[in-house]
Amino acid sequence: MIYFDNSATTVPYDEVIDTFSEVSRSYFANPSSLHPLGKEAERLKEQARRRVGSLLKVKPEELVFTSGGTEGNNLAIKGTAYRLQTRGKHIITTGIEHTSTFEACQQLEKEGFTVTYITPDDTGRITKDQVEQALTEDTILVSMIHVSNELGSVQPVQDTGELLANYPKILFHVDHVQGMTKVPLDFKKAGIDLCTISAHKFHGLKGTGVLYIRSGITLTSQFSGGEQEGGYRGGTENLAGIVAMAKALRLSIEASNSGIDHIKQISSWIEKEVSAIDGVVLNSPRDRAPHILNFSIPNMKPEVVIQALGEKGIFVSTKSACSSKQFTPSRVLLSAGFDEPVAASAIRLSFSFENTMEEAALFTEIFKETVTSMKKVVKF
């Protein structure tokens, strides 16, 4: 098996699964219970919070445990909008956001908020100047994805944070789900107020994540039913998932020391080989995030290519897994100015530190054979 769909989800580390299993067995009590077993579970949860805070270089009390990126993005965006709506009702985001951000903003528009969707250039990037030009007296939030989950383009988070430091009443939210452990980001240095990460993108388990909320900021909760997680997330905490996430984050950060250069090598080699195939169009920018490579084969249905590769034990994707079952042109690529045939035929490869150059070589060999075979039945 060759698994090149790590931006959809990563394979959990064995140690992470072991941790989840052990915590599930030995610390099964509800962390909110007052008896000794509950207190023990609570202590373990707070220990995990301190560990994650240390790894992210933030205060433990600035972290809210969530179910993942979608919940984190919704809490950050809607929680800010509802909290600050008496101050202003204007939000700035980009045209290449993850669906969870894009649709949250669309919902807010229906409720009377105004949203500016900044159009990226053909590399999938926006600029600090575009953000500055979009600011108004009513702006309360700028929400920006750090690494595009489809193109791998990296947004100017640090520059934007420096700009917004001059506007202390505007909050800055960053969707760091795809960048975590692959593209380093210092939350404090970048002036970030709110930041989303998700465990299953760095070899943790699905259903766990973190929203960083800078000290001094208060959001409107999206849940009712309890005071867990500072009142932001009512409901019994997924203790085993939280502790396993802390381990996955530590292991992935350690692996990134040499792993980033490793996946750069894999990605660059495949880019060179794939670009040489007649009819293939490279979509990702050259200076993209190291783990994402996007290209198109116009006139070929990507789902057919993906199924053909899957039958040979190779697993890749089209666009974001949250949208991949919708056989429509990629909204992200269209926003970046790609024409419809390219946006409708995009294929995304995404790598982890566990992938190898041997897998890359075998992939390119099989991919070339697959495309050549399909060209015989597709008019170019």
Burial class (CB in 10 A: 0-12, 13-18, 19+), 5: buried
Q: Which residue has the tokens 């660059």?
A: 268
Tokens at 54, concatenated: 């240390």
Q: Which residue has the tokens 């560990």?
A: 51
CB atoms within 10 A of CB 339: 13
Sheet with 63-66, edge to edge strand ranges: 63-66, 209-213, 194-198, 171-175, 139-145, 90-94, 114-118
How far apart CA 197 and CA 202 sit, in angstroms, is: 9
Tokens at 291, concatenated: 């783990």
Q: 135, 322, 334, 374: which one is catalytic?
A: 322
Whether the CB-CB separation of 168 and 214 falls below 8 Å is answered with no
Tokens at 168, concatenated: 């202390």
5, β-bridge pairs: 350
CB atoms within 10 A of CB 269: 14
* Number of residues that this document lists for the chain: 380
Whether the CB-CB separation of 296 and 281 falls below 8 Å is answered with yes
How far apart CA 332 and CA 74 sit, in angstroms, is: 19
Pick from 105, 100, 127: which is nearest to 115 by CA?
Answer: 105
322 as an active site residue: the answer is: yes
Tokens at 301, concatenated: 């249905």
Tokens at 195, concatenated: 């930041």
Alpha helices (runs of H) in the chain, residue ranges in sequence order: 14-26, 36-56, 69-84, 99-110, 128-134, 157-164, 239-275, 302-310, 331-335, 340-343, 357-375
Measure CA 110 to chain center. Answer: 25
How far apart CA 192 and CA 203 sit, in angstroms, is: 25
Phi then psi for residue 319, to 5 deg, are -120, -155
What are the catalytic residues? 322
